Amino acid sequence: MATIGDVARIAGVSRSTASYALSGKRAISEEVRERVAAAVRELGYTPNAGARALATSQTMVIGLLAQFMEDEFAPAMLQYILGVSNTARELGYDILLVTEEDGTRALRRITDSRMVDGIVLLNVAEDDDRLPILRAASQPGALVGLPADCTGVDVFDLDFEEAGRLMVERLHRLGHRELILVSQPEHVVERGGAYVWRLQNAAVEQAQNRGITLHAVFGSSGQPEVGQQLHAMLDAHPEATGLLINNEAAAAALPTVLHSRGLTAPEDLSVIGRYSDEFARTFSLPFSSVESAPDRLGRMAVRQLVRRIEHSGAATEPHVVRFVSPEFVDRGSVASPRPTSPRHGGRP
Amino acid sequence: MATIGDVARIAGVSRSTASYALSGKRAISEEVRERVAAAVRELGYTPNAGARALATSQTMVIGLLAQFMEDEFAPAMLQYILGVSNTARELGYDILLVTEEDGTRALRRITDSRMVDGIVLLNVAEDDDRLPILRAASQPGALVGLPADCTGVDVFDLDFEEAGRLMVERLHRLGHRELILVSQPEHVVERGGAYVWRLQNAAVEQAQNRGITLHAVFGSSGQPEVGQQLHAMLDAHPEATGLLINNEAAAAALPTVLHSRGLTAPEDLSVIGRYSDEFARTFSLPFSSVESAPDRLGRMAVRQLVRRIEHSGAATEPHVVRFVSPEFVDRGSVASPRPTSPRHGGRP
DNA sequence: CTGAAAGCGCTTACAG
DNA sequence: CTGAAAGCGCTTACAG
């Protein structure tokens, strides 16, 4: 492989001149610039990334820590990863993807060895083990997900409280008076998935404020359990006219459940989910939803991270905690409840 | 950040001794080894990856090129990625994930700059643009997917021909005489997704050999099109008693389609899919299937790649093309056709 | 068993 | 506008 020494020799200049000609960091005569460019072309020269990293202390790589938990719905993760990866590339960075079980060890490894210029943490728990390590690292970090303690990192998340309120408020305004909310599995909450109760608590509170009934339940993250739970909830609350879904697996299972009960949305039941548009397309979900914007969150996290990496002034700027407002995407599954409740349809 | 010089100073030895004490590449007195270990602990020393890469020409990173095509079902990709990522880590390697649209440019960038010790290519097309670049690179490459020309790379893929034969043969033996095969979209074929017609041609041939009818059709990769196509096929061939699915989106859509027609598998229709067990769980697909083994293929590709990277003798060993035999996973959706065809059930 | 030195391939002050 | 040299942090022959 050609080195910058080869380029310099062929161009008839010193290595420093060749380097400057390529980086443009100092004035170079037109003639020399062209000789260097020709040599580069001739040799197919590309700088050695390791050598450059050693000399500049910049790797142009961002570490992406993603954990695939048993109790989380894997396809939903993919969109965050793609949002991060694509944005990073646009800004000139590559992605070191770490899916190791032991996130703390992995994080220490890639930061201590300086393989990366910054870190994006996905799947952040309320009290995340990885955060102390990230704070101690010399590279900046950006999170997707809200921990209890946000010091020292930039944080991006959906405004789950607002999402919970929005879901309840929409249905209340249309005249619904009894709702069911299916959340993520309780394991997720126990592990510290704060977003589950952030949405749920806000929904419960909003329901109280409006004087309506909300039955909240933790759903499973997989089939067939989650389908059975949906049936059970619908059996248990025949007067409920609205269904709120903060659980990807439940959303994916719902069409089959409704179908098998002979129910149609919104005629028999109004439904609002919380997932991304991409997710809705993949699973062809016909339900209106609160957009969870994984690509946008990934993009925001990377942009802020790169600002901190590149703009030395940004290192001292205060860290941000930024919430994306939930947007309601209308897919026609929400309407006023029919005057003659209760619902028809039962478990087949 | 501490360097090996700091370690050496604190341990009271030379840098080379510190280095050897850590690598174990030459005999070190017990006492010195312990002083070095203590210094490492005290400083929290971790070698700088860039410096090590420069000195050893080994980055301990594997490049993973994954393309997310519009007409492919993204969740299916994830399992290949995880198989590769997890196996790489077990073997001591990290993953540079590249999802760039322009795969050839990306490949050139990461190989020329020596960011990686080897390359895993996913989504390999029959005549893949990236292959000439990979062959020209100094790093070894392993593919998941079968191109027309396998020279200079190690290739791993499901035996799609065998899968096609197996699907037809199973149903033929049970007495089925008219089958429908839904393949991936025609775009995938045009782009060079050879596996589509490898399975299809083998299925068609096997049907001919057995003297039975096989209606082959290209399905769409998304909803609602693919659901409508399934309906159309079932409408068009009321005598067909078996359905073969080589299309993830079609498989995911099928439960709803069958349900809405009032059909049950295997009573009204025998169904065999071609997807992974993990995929079946995620989408709770109740159909027997030919296992596509993405995790196993990813694992095989990485193992072979690491062999070539680490064992210099392996560099000259002949390249391999290895097919994973399709395994039939029984989920109870296959049985003898009922004596009184035709099928009941129509588009609702 | 250990140390001094060269070298990996860059970038960037320093000097002219 | 250009060059000679130092340095980034490692590893590994070479020498003892």
Per mean pLDDT, which of A209-213, A339-343, B341-345 is the most reliable?
A209-213
The tens digit of pLDDT for each residue in B70-87 reads: 777 788 888 999 999 999
Q: Classify domain B61-158+294-326 at the CATH topology level.
A: Rossmann fold (3.40.50)
Given this model, what pLDDT does residue A344 score?
59
To 10 degrees, what angle do helices A15-23 and A30-43 make?
90
Selecting from 3.50.50.60, 3.40.109.10, 1.25.40.10, 1.10.260.40, what CATH number does the domain A4-47 have? 1.10.260.40
Share of chain A above pLDDT 90, in %: 72
Q: Number of C-alpha atoms within 13 angstroms, CB side, residue A219?
A: 35
The tens digit of pLDDT for each residue in B111-143 reads: 999 999 999 999 899 999 999 999 999 999 999
Nucleotides of C under 7 A from a protein CB: 1-13
- Chain A closest CA to B27's CA: distance in Å? 26
Structure tokens that stand for A254 in this block: 């719902």
Is residue A258 within 8 Å of residue B259, measured between CB atoms? no
Indicate if the pLDDT at residue B344 is higher than 80: no
Residues 1-20/B with CB < 7 A to strand D: 1-5, 15-16, 19-20
The spacing between the Cα labelled CA in B145 and the C1' in C2, in angstroms, equals 52
The tens digit of pLDDT for each residue in B184-218 reads: 988 887 787 788 889 999 999 999 999 999 999 99
Beta strand segments in chain B, E: 61-65, 94-98, 118-121, 141-144, 154-158, 178-183, 213-218, 242-245, 270-275, 288-291, 321-324, 327-329
**Of residues A132 and B310, more confidently modeled:** A132
Given this model, what pLDDT does residue B73 score?
78
The tens digit of pLDDT for each residue in A165-204 reads: 999 999 999 999 999 999 998 888 888 778 888 999 999 9
The tens digit of pLDDT for each residue in B85-109 reads: 999 999 999 999 999 999 999 999 9
Given this model, what pLDDT does residue A314 score?
66
The tens digit of pLDDT for each residue in A17-50 reads: 999 999 888 888 888 899 999 999 999 999 999 9
Given this model, what pLDDT does residue B279 score?
87
B49 Cβ within 7 A of any nucleic strand D atom: no
Edge to edge, the sheet with strand B288-291 lists B213-218, B178-183, B242-245, B270-275, B288-291, B327-329
For B327, the 3-state DSSP assignment is strand
Indicate if the pLDDT at residue B347 is higher than 70: no
What's the CA gap between B163 and B151, in Å, rounded?
A: 25
What's the CA gap between A345 and A261, in Å, rounded?
A: 5
Nucleotides of D under 7 A from a protein CB: 1-13
Is residue B267 within 8 Å of residue B338, measured between CB atoms? yes
Given this model, what pLDDT does residue B269 score?
95
Q: Which residue of chain A comes nearest to B59, CA vs CA? A: A50
Mutation for testing the B interface, residue in A112, A119, A230, A278 having most B CBs under 10 Å: A112
A20 Cβ within 7 A of any nucleic strand D atom: yes
Nearest nucleotide to B16 (CA to C1') is: C3
The tens digit of pLDDT for each residue in A46-55 reads: 999 999 999 9
Alpha-carbon dihedral of residues B299, B305, B306, B308, nearest 10 degrees?
Answer: 150
The tens digit of pLDDT for each residue in A207-233 reads: 999 999 999 999 988 777 888 899 999
Same CATH fold, B160-291 and B61-158+294-326? yes
Q: Classify domain B160-291 at the CATH topology level.
A: Rossmann fold (3.40.50)
B60 Cβ within 7 A of any nucleic strand D atom: no
Given this model, what pLDDT does residue A218 score?
92
- Residue A315 confidence class, pLDDT cut points 50, 70, 90: low
Q: Please tell me the total number of residues recorded for chain B in this structure.
A: 348
B23 Cβ within 7 A of any nucleic strand D atom: yes
Domain boundaries, chain B: 4-47, 61-158+294-326, 160-291
Given this model, what pLDDT does residue B340 score?
63
The tens digit of pLDDT for each residue in A84-131 reads: 999 999 999 999 999 999 999 999 999 999 999 999 999 899 999 999
Mention every residue, 6+ apart, whose C-beta is less than 8 A from residue B90: none
Given this model, what pLDDT does residue B105 score?
95
